Amino acid sequence: MNAALPRPMPQALLDALASRFGTQCSTAMAVREHHGRVEGSIQAPPPAAVVFAESTLDVQDAVRLCNQHAVPVIAYAAGSSLEGHLLAVQGGICIDVNRMNRVLSVNAEDLTVTVQPGITRKQLNDAVKDQGLFFPIDPGADASIGGMAATRASGTNAVRYGTMRENVLALEVVTASGEAIRTGTRARKSSAGYDLTRLMVGSEGTLGIFTEVTVRLYPLPEAVSAAICSFPSIEAAVRSVIQTIQLGVPIARVELIDVNSVRMVNAHSKLGLREEPMLLMEFHGSPAGVKEQAETVQEIAREWGGNDFEWATTPEERTRLWTARHNAYFAAVQSRPGCVAIATDTCVPISRLADALLDSIAEADASGIPYFLVGHVGDGNFHFGYLIDPDSADERARAEALNHQLVARALALGGTCTGEHGVGVHKMGFLVDEAGAGAVQMMRAIKQALDPNDILNPGKIFAL
């Protein structure tokens, strides 16, 4: 997959790490393999050692030592990346930041919180809910906040609350030379120089390692209601969504679930959902506001043949529904024993969503590859999961061909190859198609200026 060969691993570096970190550094094969495995179909040799960082200073020292030896360094937390971000494709050292999982300061009055990178989104929400606050970004997996910032993650709530791009206010970043810098303040807005925060968000570990993350919080909505609506066709569901967004309804979540996914989720989560394409929606606001939003959307849905909403208003019912949605991936993988899922991640302008989806569904149906389809359709973002036999070169080739057609279509419609997963090693070719050689060259120039030895997660996003 990646032509770059592992770089030399000097024994002197391993000795220096052992001396500096003692039991915080492991070269045990089981530990290394755990940190070199990722979801999906790509594999690479494990990192040569894993440093369990407990402080910014630990990260700085590990990076400094690696930089002295020009050895790659890869940050690791929840391990939920889907694009091979965590693979040591050129060898190197893994810095595990899971022990850096503290909430450093909650500023409830400002609706901000500063955390260490290893905290997961669920841990963060547990820590702030007693103050009537929540962190909305929800990519499904219980990902770490550091990893979510590094991949510019988003998920089900982004249609209302934005992505990590909008919700990270500031970072502490350890640079390639081991210096710790801050990229912003807690002010809600600023025009003070280059937007280093946004440059770092989505840089996939290639420009620095995050050691503190300041994100926005939101008041827990006074009222929350979740509704399911089944439709006679995917097109009818999607047209309803398009109209909802165009009307400016501040819907908090609107997920498309195709009939394949409904069947798989029913089997996996023991649910009795109607086996038709459906939208799973959530409304946040005041009781009156939620009612008004829901009535508007119900009216739109009816025009497209949607059924009456089925409501989940208690927290337990809502959790059950959203857990089922988040388990769609696992439900799908279990539906074909031994398979792996190749997940796509295109995102298109909302007006082109039906075009993008319907043609790609037709192609997937014609291919004979089992698949499921879910989508954060309020943003124009959707995921096919092609369920292939990992030992079948033929199935892999057919799934890759489907993905290529899908991406080409999304780009032609003014969209992107990746709405939220990132480029990693999987989408390096697609990035050039999307951004153009000139823009990728600009990224490369920035990388070379900030990381002259190319030690920070090399071989990701673009080839140097």
* Angle, in degrees to the nearest 10, between helices 259-269 and 315-326: 110
Interface size with a second copy, residues (CB under 8 A): 91
How far is it, in rounded angstroms, from Cα 428 to Cα 87? 14
Per DSSP, the residues of 165-183 read HHHEEEEEEE-TTS-EEE-
Strand partners, 144: 120
**Residue 404 engages a second copy in binding (rule: CB under 8 A):** no
How far is it, in rounded angstroms, from Cα 1 to Cα 42? 8
Binder among 124, 264, 427, 459 for a second copy (CB under 8 A): 427
SS3 content of the chain, % helix, strand, coil (to 5): 40, 20, 40
Binder among 195, 299, 308, 365 for a second copy (CB under 8 A): 195
Shortest distance (Å) from residue 185 CB to a second copy: 5
Between residue 87 and residue 106, which ones bind a second copy under the rule CB under 8 A?
none
Shortest distance (Å) from residue 171 CB to a second copy: 10
**Residue 50 engages a second copy in binding (rule: CB under 8 A):** no
**Residue 242 engages a second copy in binding (rule: CB under 8 A):** yes
Return the ∠ at Cα 122 (arms to 326 and 178), rounded to 5°: 115
Between residue 245 and residue 274, which ones bind a second copy under the rule CB under 8 A?
245-248
Query: Of 324 and 407, which CB lies nearer to a second copy in the complex structure?
Result: 407
Sheet with 278-285, edge to edge strand ranges: 310-312, 223-230, 278-285, 253-257, 371-376, 381-388, 340-343
Q: How far is CA 437 from CA 3, 310, 426, 427, 448, in A?
A: 19, 49, 17, 14, 16
Query: Of 416 and 457, which CB lies nearer to a second copy in the complex structure?
Result: 416
**Residue 462 engages a second copy in binding (rule: CB under 8 A):** yes
**Residue 193 engages a second copy in binding (rule: CB under 8 A):** yes
Between residue 106 and residue 125, which ones bind a second copy under the rule CB under 8 A?
107-112
**Residue 224 engages a second copy in binding (rule: CB under 8 A):** no
Q: Pick the stretch among 20-28, 213-221, 223-231, 393-401 that binds a second copy (CB under 8 A).
A: 213-221
**Residue 415 engages a second copy in binding (rule: CB under 8 A):** yes
Residues 124-163 vs a second copy: string with x where CB under 8 A? ---------------------------xxxx---x---xx
Shortest distance (Å) from residue 399 CB to a second copy: 21
Between residue 170 and residue 189, which ones bind a second copy under the rule CB under 8 A?
175, 179-189
Residues 288-317 vs a second copy: string with x where CB under 8 A? xx--x-------------------------
Find the helix or strand (DSSP H, E) in which 34 lies: helix 29-34
Binder among 61, 255, 258, 420 for a second copy (CB under 8 A): 420
**Residue 168 engages a second copy in binding (rule: CB under 8 A):** no
Between residue 368 and residue 387, which ones bind a second copy under the rule CB under 8 A?
379-381
φ, ψ for residue 341, nearest 5 deg: -105, 130
Per DSSP, the residues of 327-387 read THHHHHHHHSTT-EEEE---B--GGGHHHHHHHHHHHHHHH---EEEEEEGGGTEEEEEEE
**Residue 436 engages a second copy in binding (rule: CB under 8 A):** yes
Query: Of 57 and 439, which CB lies nearer to a second copy in the complex structure?
Result: 439
* Angle, in degrees to the nearest 10, between helices 353-367 and 234-246: 160
**Residue 244 engages a second copy in binding (rule: CB under 8 A):** no
Q: Pick the stretch among 13-21, 66-74, 330-338, 440-448 that binds a second copy (CB under 8 A).
A: 440-448
Measuring CA to CA, which residue among 85, 218, 94 is closest to residue 152? Answer: 85
Between residue 337 and residue 356, which ones bind a second copy under the rule CB under 8 A?
345, 347-352
Q: Alpha helices, DSSP H only, in 118-175?
A: 121-128, 145-151, 158-161, 164-167
